[in-house]
Amino acid sequence: MEFYTVKVTSKGQITIPKELRDQFHILEGETAVLIPVTEGILLKHELNPMRKLRGIMRHEIELERASQFIREMRREWRLE
């Protein structure tokens, strides 16, 4: 597990290192959740609702394509 050190500004802000923002697809303006835990503070990325919806829709489209493929294969098997 890697560790990162960040500084807290006078306004209480920190900068999440670019490497982590890229790794977890954190975009400017998105929100995060801070959770107090025994060891300190856990920061959790909260997905933008539109990104969540896109993910759900992508999954639905993939399921529909899979269903269509299965229907086509069944038709082909019946014809043979």
Q: What is the pLDDT of residues 3-56, one digit of tens each?
A: 899 999 999 999 999 999 999 888 888 888 899 999 999 998 876 666 666 666
Quickly name the fold that domain 1-46 has: Pemi-like Protein 1; Chain: D (2.10.260)
Q: How many CB atoms lie within 10 A of CB 26?
A: 19
pTM, rounded to two decimals? 0.54
Torsion angles phi and psi, residue 9, rounded to 5 = -80, 175
End-to-end CA distance of the chain: 55
CA dist 8 → 1, 13, 15, 70 (Å): 22, 5, 8, 55
